[in-house]
């Protein structure tokens, strides 16, 4: 099945969940839906879509939602499906018959003004029969847009799709786990390189890229492919720090000039890790690692150097033989995006040499940087996406 192949090609788990939910809703013409992922003995509410709610938002804005967890037991609909491994096809969530172990919580409907009616909820089972999550589709619609129960003929279709989706999710989770293991290795060297930090930077980068690409009318299939590789590449933006001395990485004060130069080499070290180009991800990861400290006005680093050996590229030397920094659109798009995402998170987080800045202070700083540190268009895009940025911060808190 072509769709199964397309799902298996998506490597990042967050991008994959969004695609799975979109395709599942399309298969049965569902107005809304959610995906829960199993974490220990709980289900984590990981992704949601709602066409009715989306239409109430300005063009280009994304639906903001809270992340929460529920126990895997028989008390909720999704918990029951995860616990029992059985699907549920509910005609009206408000009219469940007496005696059922599960119930429907109307709190979200009451807060949002939405009316949940029909629900089709399936376990996401791997080839080993293990349930790794739950796919829930809400409010099936007929050809006139009226909410109707999901048909029985939808059941085998969604069951087959859910099985394919579970396999793709498991594969993407393995990829994410490998990336996070690499991050943990970097964290042993640099305490601020945490999983929460890199997930935030990656999430911010995707939010900025989507909005930026949307303004330019970039085709959706190109955006989808780039979101997948950018998110993983952004998570690894500082992986080159594993090659930097502990005395520099863990110094509880600002660095002197020699230490600062040594620290700057992490961009080249990181790029070298991806210099053997086997995929578009390798290319993106190299670009991000090498370019995320370049500045729009040409005062960043490492400049026009080879990712293979860090030597100056011929024709780009300054008078003293050092590389000329890249400036303006010489800096690749992915580098410009991650530069902004990384600085925003650094300013918003506590460091050994500084306290966390208040959000108003951070935003004022960014407003002062267009045309100097950052691409002015990227800064405008960032502020247009600030609600999404804030929701990502809440999703990946420091512990």
Could you count the other beta carbons within 10 Å of the beta carbon of residue 353?
A: 10
What was the pLDDT predicted at 164? 94
The residue length of the chain stands at: 399
Does residue 1 carry a pLDDT above 70? no
**Pairing mode, strands 88-90 and 131-141:** unpaired
Peptide bond preceding 302 in cis form (omega within 30 of 0): yes
Does residue 368 carry a pLDDT above 60? yes
Domains of the chain: 2-171 (3.30.450.40), 190-395 (1.10.3210.10)
For 275-331, the pLDDT digits (tens) are 888 889 999 999 999 999 999 999 999 999 998 888 999 999 999 989 999 999 999
Mean pLDDT of the chain: 92
Does residue 69 carry a pLDDT above 80? yes
What was the pLDDT predicted at 190? 67
What was the pLDDT predicted at 54? 93
| Nearest in space to 352 (alpha carbons), one of 203, 142, 192, 232 | 192
For 161-209, the pLDDT digits (tens) are 999 999 999 999 999 998 888 887 776 666 666 778 999 999 999 999 9
For 3-52, the pLDDT digits (tens) are 666 787 888 999 999 999 999 999 999 999 999 999 999 999 999 999 99
For the chain, percent of residues with pLDDT exceeding 70: 96
- Specify the higher pLDDT residue, 5 or 151: 151
Find out whether 50 and 32 touch, Cβ atoms under 8 Å. Answer: yes
| Residue where the block lists tokens 């003929």 | 153
What was the pLDDT predicted at 354? 65
| Residue where the block lists tokens 């909410």 | 147
Tell whether pTM > 0.85: yes
Sign of torsion over alpha carbons 255, 245, 327, 206: negative
What was the pLDDT predicted at 184? 78
Average pLDDT over residues 124-139: 96
For the chain, percent of residues with pLDDT exceeding 90: 75
Could you count the other beta carbons within 10 Å of the beta carbon of residue 78?
A: 23
Contacts of residue 10, defined as CB under 8 A and 6 or more positions apart, other chains included, come to: 16, 19, 168, 172, 228
Phi-psi region of 331 (alpha: psi -120 to 50; beta: other; left: phi over 0): beta
Does residue 339 carry a pLDDT above 80? yes
Does residue 157 carry a pLDDT above 90? yes
What was the pLDDT predicted at 374? 96
What was the pLDDT predicted at 5? 64
How far, in Å, CA of 134 to CA of 124, rounded?
5
Q: How does residue 355 score in pLDDT terms, banded at 50, 70 and 90?
A: confident
């Amino acid at each position: 099945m072509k769709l199964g192949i397309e799902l298996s090609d998506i490597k990042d788990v967050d991008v994959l969940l969004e695609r799975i939910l979109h395709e599942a809703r399309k298969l049965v013409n569902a107005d809304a839906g959610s995906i829960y992922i199993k974490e220990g003995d709980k289900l984590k509410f990981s992704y949601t879509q709602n066409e009715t709610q989306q239409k109430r938002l300005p063009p280009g804005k994304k639906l903001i939602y809270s992340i929460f967890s529920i126990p895997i037991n028989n008390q909720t609909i999704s918990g029951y499906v995860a616990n029992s491994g059985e699907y549920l096809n509910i005609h009206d969530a408000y009219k469940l018959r007496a005696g059922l172990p599960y119930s429907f919580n109307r709190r979200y409907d009451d807060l949002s003004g939405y009316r949940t009616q029909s629900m089709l909820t399936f376990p996401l089972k791997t080839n080993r029969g293990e349930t790794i999550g739950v796919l829930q589709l809400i409010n099936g619609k007929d050809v006139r847009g009226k909410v109707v129960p999901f048909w029985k003929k939808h059941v085998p279709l969604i069951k087959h799709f859910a099985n394919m989706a579970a396999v793709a999710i498991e594969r993407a989770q393995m990829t994410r786990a490998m990336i996070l293991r690499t991050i943990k290795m970097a964290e042993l060297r640099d305490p601020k390189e945490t999983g929460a930090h890199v997930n935030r930077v990656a999430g911010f980068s995707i939010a900025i890229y989507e909005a930026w690409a949307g303004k330019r009318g970039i085709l959706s299939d190109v955006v989808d492919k780039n979101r997948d590789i950018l998110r993983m590449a952004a998570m690894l933006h500082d992986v080159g720090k594993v090659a930097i001395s502990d005395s520099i990485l863990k110094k509880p004060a600002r660095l002197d000039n020699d230490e600062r130069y040594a620290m700057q080499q992490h961009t080249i070290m990181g790029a070298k890790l991806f210099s053997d180009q086997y995929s578009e991800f390798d290319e993106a990861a190299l670009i991000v690692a090498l370019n995320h400290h370049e500045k729009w006005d040409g005062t960043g680093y490492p400049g026009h150097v080879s990712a293979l050996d860090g030597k100056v590229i011929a024709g780009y030397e300054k008078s003293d033989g050092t590389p000329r920094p890249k400036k303006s659109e010489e800096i690749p798009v992915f580098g410009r995006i991650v530069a902004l995402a990384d600085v925003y998170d650094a300013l918003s987080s506590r460091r050994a040499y500084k306290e966390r800045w208040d959000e108003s202070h951070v935003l004022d700083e960014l407003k002062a940087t267009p045309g100097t540190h950052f691409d002015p268009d990227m800064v405008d895009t960032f502020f247009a996406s600030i609600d999404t940025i804030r929701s990502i911060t809440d999703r990946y808190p420091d512990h």
